Amino acid sequence: MNTQITKLLGAKYPILQGGMAWVANASLAAAVSNGGGVGLIAGGAAPVDVIRQEIHKAKELTHRPFGVNIMLMSDNASDLVQLCIDEKVAVVTTGAGTPGAFIPALKEAGVKVIPVVPSVALAKRAERAGADAVIAEGMESGGHIGELTTMALVPQVCDAVEIPVIAAGGIADGRGMAAAIMLGAQGVQIGTRFLAARECEISQAYKDLVLSAKDTGTVVTGRCTGHPCRGIRSRLTRELLEQEKDGIDPAEFEKLAAGSLRMAVQDGDLERGSFFAGQIAGMVTREQPAAEIIKEIATSAKQLLQNACMIRGIDF
Ligand code: TUI
């Protein structure tokens, strides 16, 4: 399946893995890249040395292109940018901010830059700053989200920029990928479904919550802080929502949520963990190798796009 994204990144399929903080390590990234997608190691708020080790591990596990996701709200974002330059990673995706200042140095080093954008204005800004593509991420996604849905955001971003657009948010199977391509996207970014990849090394409690989630199983907390995040309903999200209703001070909210993602990923702490996942969690019902997930999605999208009318019984 060749698109501008497979050409840009040298991958077999235009399927990028989401840059899930604390979750996306060398094991997952390499498995996705070996499966023909583009794996990402999450920078998150981790120390540079930890990410360097993960990059080295991934280089041992795969010879295919992989990347690093840089969370721009993190204090060490600029150090991670330098690390990606030094390590010559194939691609950097960014989230939770505007990467403009970092783009020239990354491009100079041959690193492709693909910012996540939640709006047309930020997509245009990324294009002006020299981004190679953008990821238009709808609010169906897990973790930190914008306001717009994937269905509304993707075609508007596609109309607004010349660079290729990757759709994200609420995509977990071939139907979602085919729909994204019909909206004008040249590829997709998938996070939640990879939480159930065999090579995804999260706690069993986290995996079980994703596998048993229903369609309405996620909620958004943190609107009061200006950084809303979607995750699976839990003891913590119930408390956070109650506190938000009572008008909690945003700084106090941040304190309640601090460290909760790590507690979910590493400890499977059902009391204090934040189990970030997208709305599509209800469709993720079994653990599979990452390569199998990618092949299934790509094969199904291709079949749907080639035979859409016949399959759906639409007559013209
Ligand atoms: O970044 C994500 N998803 C994330 S980051 C994360 S870690 C975190 N934890 C707690 C609170 C906040 C973050 C967990 N999940 N997705 C990409 C994304 N980027 N979503 C929204 C944005 C975004 C938002 C604002 C991109 C640019 C932006 O620009 C604002 C500006 O003024 O520059």
Cβ of residue 122 lying under 6 Å from some atom of ligand 1 = yes
Cβ of residue 227 lying under 6 Å from some atom of ligand 1 = yes
Distance CA 167, CA 158 (A): 10
Token couple for 262: 């790590």
Measure the N-to-C terminal CA separation of the chain; round to a whole number of Å.
Answer: 27
Burial label for 166, CB within 10 Å (0-12, 13-18, 19+), is buried
Cβ of residue 278 lying under 6 Å from some atom of ligand 1 = no
The string of pLDDT tens digits covering residues 205-217 is 999 999 999 999 9
Ligand 1 mean position to 43 CA, how many Å? 13
pLDDT value of position 283: 98
Distance CA 34, CA 6 (A): 14
Ligand 1 atom nearest residue 222's Cα: 11
Which strands form 91-95's sheet, in the order they lie side by side?
Answer: 15-17, 187-190, 165-168, 134-137, 112-117, 91-95, 66-71, 39-42
Token couple for 99: 């990467």
The reported pTM is 0.97
Query: Is a pLDDT exceeding 70 seen at residue 303?
Result: yes
Ligand 1 mean position to 3 CA, how many Å? 27
State the number of CA atoms in the 13 A half-sphere of 24 facing the CB: 32
The string of pLDDT tens digits covering residues 6-36 is 999 999 999 999 999 999 999 999 999 999 9
Which residue has the least CA distance to atom 28 on ligand 1? 97
CA distances for 148 relative to 163, 173, 192, angstroms: 20, 21, 18
Cβ of residue 71 lying under 6 Å from some atom of ligand 1 = yes
Cβ of residue 264 lying under 6 Å from some atom of ligand 1 = no
The string of pLDDT tens digits covering residues 151-164 is 999 999 999 999 99
Ligand 1 mean position to 311 CA, how many Å? 38
Ligand 1 mean position to 88 CA, how many Å? 24
Distance of CA 299 to the CA centre of its chain: 21
Nearest C-alpha neighbor of 186 from the set 10, 11, 15: 15
Cβ of residue 23 lying under 6 Å from some atom of ligand 1 = no
State the number of CA atoms in the 13 A half-sphere of 219 facing the CB: 13
Distance CA 10, CA 313 (A): 36
Ligand 1 mean position to 77 CA, how many Å? 13
Summarize the confidence of residues 112-133 as an average pLDDT.
Answer: 98
Q: How confident is the model at residue 309 (pLDDT cuts 50, 70, 90)?
A: confident
Average pLDDT over the chain reads 97
Token couple for 279: 């709305």
- Pick from 16, 103, 144 the residue to mutate for probing ligand 1's pocket: most ligand atoms within 8 Å of its CB: 144
Cβ of residue 144 lying under 6 Å from some atom of ligand 1 = yes
DSSP per-residue string spanning the chain: ---HHHHHHT-SSSEEEP--TTT--HHHHHHHHHTTSBEEEE-TT--HHHHHHHHHHHHHH-SS-EEEEEETTSTTHHHHHHHHHHTT-SEEEEESS--GGGHHHHHHTT-EEEEEESSHHHHHHHHHTT-S-EEEE-TTSSEE--SS-HHHHHHHHHHH-SS-EEEESS--SHHHHHHHHHTT-SEEEE-HHHHTBTT----HHHHHHHHH--TT-EEEE-GGGT--EEEE--HHHHHHHHHHHTT--HHHHHHHHTTHHHHHHTT--TTT---B--GGGGG--S-B-HHHHHHHHHHHHHHHHHHHHHHHT---
Question: Position of tokens 């004008």?
Answer: 184
Query: Is a pLDDT exceeding 90 seen at residue 311?
Result: no
